[in-house]
Amino acid sequence: MANIHFDSTDSDDERRRWLYEGDLYIYSPIKPTLELVALARELMSHAFGTRDPELAQFDMSVTEYAALLAELRPRFIHHPDCKRLLPEILTALGCDQANTYFDVPRMRSSTSDNFLTTGIAYAFHPHRDTWYSAPMCQLNWWLPISGLNANNGMAFHPTHWAKALRNSSTIFDYPRWNQVNRFSAAKQIGTDTRPQPKALEPVPLEPDIRLVPPPGGIIVFSGAQLHSSVPNLSGCTRFSVDFRTVNAEDAMHLKGAANIDSQCTGSTMHEYLRCSDLTHLPQAVLELHASGPPRPALMAN
């Protein structure tokens, strides 16, 4: 089972080492995470108008709701304050600005009672981000905007950390996903037809770990950690934000979690920006990762 580090004083080097071994970190809210939550809530309030964003699903059609999210989410992603706040969050939590690169933050929503679980509000099956062309050194940073409980967040499945799962990651090529599938999310209502990597064998989901930080609290985990969306039975829509980071030195030296079962192609590395000056990763790093993660040494039978 994974170790859970709460408000750890580990250095970033120590933290990355343990995250690459499958541990989980959780931090209490800090000033820049609370500012990010406030920004998200301001944009949500503007988008939903007089409706309570957490209850609006009960007063809207699925098509209307998906269309609203299709406008709200990019407005948040591209808001200039995000590029200011994410480096502040990472610096406050001990990351080296010169070596830490981040991607844009995504606003996620998980509606209650299966109202909308496809496309733009996709309810994720058990997966590793490394099945989606993420580098093995990717770290995920996840924080709730709205109230969180064990019935509307996400679950980690750490018993599968070192166990290879037969999966369809061979179908996933990140450049093709961007060209063909990324921008069709709002049209995926009822059934999501986009090809996504999934396990090709039964995946026991218990025991699992469900961390429940308050709004602005943050969970950090490896992109190789198997995790899934918890079916939302809370009666309210859950909103959250997540973003990802890579350390340039780790990326250059191919440090990170072991690749036990990811066989995707392409790379997300060109999307990362350096905390200190918002420049992209060095070309040598981009070329090293261009074809996808290193091939797994061991595959499940």
For the cut 50, the answer to whether the pLDDT of residue 23 exceeds it is yes
Closest to 36 (Cα-Cα) out of 112, 96, 92: 92
> Does 120 or 160 have the greater pLDDT score?
160
Chain-wide mean pLDDT for the chain? 90
Per-domain residue ranges for the chain? 4-289
Residues 6+ apart with CB under 8 A from 283: none
Q: Could you tell me the sign of the dihedral formed by the alpha carbons of 61, 63, 66, 71, in that order?
A: negative
Residues 219-276 pLDDT 10s: 999 999 999 989 898 899 999 999 999 999 999 999 999 999 999 999 999 999 999 9
CB atoms within 10 A of CB 297: 9
Give the predicted TM-score (pTM) of the model: 0.91
Residues 170-220 pLDDT 10s: 999 998 888 765 554 444 354 545 678 999 999 988 899 999 999 999 999
Output the CA–CA distances (angstroms, integers) from residue 197 to 168, 201, 243, 263, 265, in the order listed: 5, 12, 20, 10, 12
Closest to 96 (Cα-Cα) out of 289, 234, 246, 290: 246
CATH 2.60.120 is held by the domain 4-289: yes
Residues in the chain: 301
CB atoms within 10 A of CB 71: 11
Contact (CB, 8 A) for 193 and 135: no
Contact (CB, 8 A) for 130 and 259: yes
Closest to 158 (Cα-Cα) out of 201, 231, 219, 222: 222
Q: What does DSSP assign to residue 180?
A: I
How many Cα atoms are found within 13 Å in the side-chain-facing hemisphere of 12? 18
